[in-house]
Amino acid sequence: MFIIKCPYCGERDHSEFNYGGEAHIVRPKQPTELSDDEWAEYLFMRKNIKGLQYERWNHSHGCRQWFNVARDTSNDKIHSVYKMGENPPK
Amino acid sequence: MKKTYSIFSLIKNSFSYHENWQRAWRDPEPKKKYDAVIVGGGGHGLATAYYLAKEHNLKNIAVVEKGWIGGGNTGRNTTIIRSNYLWDASAGMYDHALKLWEGLSQELNYNVMFSQRGVMNLAHNLHDVRELKRRTHANRLNGIDCEWLSTEQVKKFCPIINCSPNIRYPVLGSTLQRRAGTARHDAVAWGYARGADSMGVDIIQNCEVKGIKRTGDTIDGIETTKGFIQTSKIGVAAAGHSSVLANMAGIRLPLESKPLQALVSEPIKPIIDTVVMSNAVHAYVSQSDKGELVIGAGTDAYISYTQKGTHEVIEGTLKAILELYPIFSRLRMLRQWGGVVDICPDASPIISKTSIKGLYFNCGWGTGGFKATPGSGNLFAHTIAKDEPHKLNAAFNINRFVSGDLVDEHGAAAVAH
Q: Which amino acid would we find at residue B397? A: N
- pLDDT over 80 at A1, yes or no: no
CATH number at residue A25: 3.30.2270.10
B11 touches chain A (CB under 8 A): no
pLDDT for the residue B414 = 45
Beta carbons of A88 and A68 less than 8 angstroms apart: yes
Which spans in B355-394 are helix H?
A: 373-386
Which chain A residue shows the shortest CA-CA distance from B301?
A: A19
Select the residue of B241, B301, B310 nearest A18 (Cβ to Cβ). B301
Chain B residues touching A43 at Cβ < 8 A: 345, 401
Residue A62 lies in a domain: yes
CB contact under 8 A, B254 and A44: yes
ipTM of the complex: 0.95
Q: How far apart are CA B414 and CA B271, in angstroms?
A: 27
pTM of the model: 0.96
> 3-state class of B377 per DSSP?
helix
Using DSSP bridges, classify how beta strands B234-236 and B359-363 pair: parallel, antiparallel or unpaired: parallel
CATH number assigned to the domain with residue range B24-110+184-254+346-413, chosen from the 4 options 3.40.50.970, 3.40.50.300, 3.50.50.60, 3.30.230.30 = 3.50.50.60
Write the DSSP assignment of B73-100 as a string of letters.
GGGTS--EE----SSHHHHHHHHHHHHH
**Residue ranges of chain B assigned to CATH 3.50.50.60:** 24-110+184-254+346-413
**Residue ranges of chain B assigned to CATH 3.30.9.10:** 119-180+257-343
Select the residue of A19, A39, A48 nearest B301 (Cβ to Cβ). A19
Number of domains in chain A: 1
Q: Which amino acid would we find at residue B110? A: Y
Residue A70 lies in a domain: yes
Select the residue of A36, A47, A50 nearest B305 (Cβ to Cβ). A50
pLDDT for the residue B214 = 93
- Does domain B119-180+257-343 correspond to CATH entry 1.10.150.130? no
Residue A88 lies in a domain: no
Q: How far apart are CA B281 and CA B295, in angstroms?
A: 13
| A window 9-48, beta carbon within 8 A of B | 14-15, 18-19, 21, 36-37, 39-41, 43-48
Beta carbons of B52 and B62 less than 8 angstroms apart: no
Select the residue of B252, B303, B403 nearest A73 (Cβ to Cβ). B303
Which H helix or E strand runs over B18? Answer: none
Burial B368-407 (b: 16+ CB within 10 A, else e): bbbbbbbbbbbbbbbbbbeeebbebbbbbbbbbbbeeebb
- The count of other CB atoms within 10 Å of the CB of residue A79 is 12
Ramachandran assignment for B11, one of left (phi > 0), alpha (psi -120 to 50 degrees), beta (any other): alpha
Instruction: Tell me the shortest Cα–Cα distance from A49 to chain B, in angstroms.
Output: 7
Instruction: Tell me the shortest Cα–Cα distance from A58 to chain B, in angstroms.
Output: 12
Write the DSSP assignment of chain A as a string of letters.
--EEEETTTEEEEGGG-EEEEES--PPPS-GGG--HHHHHHHHT-B---SSEEEEEEE-TTTT--EEEEEEETTTTEEEEEEETTSPPP-
Positions in chain B short of pLDDT 50: 414, 416-417
Q: Give me the phi and psi of B153, to 5 degrees please.
A: -70, -35
B82 touches chain A (CB under 8 A): no
Beta carbons of A6 and A67 less than 8 angstroms apart: yes
- List Cβ neighbours of A36 (8 Å cut-off, separation of 6 or more): B402, B403, B404
Which H helix or E strand runs over B369? Answer: none
Beta carbons of B85 and B136 less than 8 angstroms apart: no
A49 touches chain B (CB under 8 A): yes
CA distances from B99 to B82, B178, B288, B379 (A): 10, 13, 22, 13
What are residue B212's DSSP bridge partners? Answer: B222
Which chain B residue shows the shortest CA-CA distance from A37?
A: B402
Q: Give me the phi and psi of B314, to 5 degrees please.
A: -65, -40
pLDDT for the residue B417 = 47
- pLDDT tens-digit map of A2-39: 899 999 999 999 999 999 999 999 999 999 999 999 99
Select the residue of B301, B342, B402 nearest A37 (Cβ to Cβ). B402
Residue A90 lies in a domain: no
Which spans in B142-234 are helix H?
A: 151-157, 185-198
Query: Which residue range forms the structural domain that includes residue A70?
Result: 3-83
pLDDT for the residue B409 = 85
Instruction: Tell me the shortest Cα–Cα distance from A40 to chain B, in angstroms.
Output: 5
Q: How far apart are CA B385 and CA B381, in angstroms?
A: 6
Residue A89 lies in a domain: no
Beta carbons of B305 and B245 less than 8 angstroms apart: no
- pLDDT over 50 at A45, yes or no: yes
Q: How far apart are CA B329 and CA B248, in angstroms?
A: 48
pLDDT for the residue B280 = 87
Residue A38 lies in a domain: yes
